[in-house]
Amino acid sequence: MAGSDEVNRNECKTVVPLHTWVLISNFKLSYNILRRADGTFERDLGEYLDRRVPANARPLEGVSSFDHIIDQSVGLEVRIYRAAAEGDAEEGAAAVTRPILEFLTDAPAAEPFPVIIFFHGGSFVHSSASSTIYDSLCRRFVKLSKGVVVSVNYRRAPEHRYPCAYDDGWTALKWVMSQPFMRSGGDAQARVFLSGDSSGGNIAHHVAARAADEGVKVCGNILLNAMFGGTERTESERRLDGKYFVTLQDRDWYWKAYLPEDADRDHPACNPFGPNGRRLGGLPFAKSLIIVSGLDLTCDRQLAYADALREDGHHVKVVQCENATVGFYLLPNTVHYHEVMEEISDFLNANLYY
């Protein structure tokens, strides 16, 4: 059982850097306001409270971005980030828009570069591709990778339940694969990595599994604190309930909001290798880099997920950050942050070639 709120807050403050504690505590406060007991969500207020930034066609610190609708039928939009090209700093409106048009119509590049399809977190309910924290993270990924990041503004629950987020992720993958300007190298292939944090990590897994089923080549998966669950509680869920920002009650609400109305937490979306799930042995599932925070109450589930992939014969590297909480990768103020960014860079470089 969770301890008192005051005890938990004091313990959390001794571990988490102040800026991270303030950032995630503010999120938790707003999230508690937005969730209704009947399973609905204060969407209008949530959109108002979500700190967002616009795309910037004019480069900012060497990275430019723009928003692009890839599926008109559902209004699916992505935010595309890339390193600034020579001439992007010219003056005038034409100088800002021309690089975007040239990029969208460009031929495959000679030098290989990674394309990271990123799915933001927020437990399937909160945040967006334009949320400030995820805009900043995607910019860091561009600088790390020297490639392109496609951040997916997938449909959110409870208005759009399972499998909407997975369908949007699959649409984004197919779109990236079909675009000549996303291809590179002598073989002119799209060198795609799937990544996400929290619910985004869950989406990345399910999109990767579908890609393996359908023979679509993915170079690698990068999961940060991926959100998995199950009906039976794990040891870490019982031990860390309420201690570091997240409670089991929170998680249960989000799963109820996303899963089909008659489903429990052993649904394959939540518990992919559970009693109702399926294994991935014999499928060409991509290599995985799995980032686990030791103070995330679902850390046992993430480690069990990695073990199941290994048992099925797939390549997995786990980076377990023992003293990290959820969201530690959003701010560059811990040793764990820098360790993980280096691991991501190494993983991208090691798996860029087919």
Active site members: 198
CB-CB neighbours of 282 under 10 Å: 9
The token pair that represents 258 in the structure block: 């996303």
Helix residue ranges, H only, 69-148 = 93-104, 132-145
d(CA 186, CA 105): 19
- Residue 168 to residue 177: CA distance in whole angstroms: 14
196, 203 Cβ separation under 8 angstroms: yes
Integer CA distances (angstroms), 7 to 3, 14, 15, 105, 235, in order: 7, 11, 13, 57, 20
Q: Go through 257-266 and write b for each residue having 16 or more CB atoms within 10 A of its CB, e for each that does not.
A: bbbeeebebb
Cis amide bond preceding 275, omega within 30: no
Q: Is 343 helix (H, G, I), strand (E, B) or coil?
A: helix
Local structure of 116: helix, strand or coil: strand
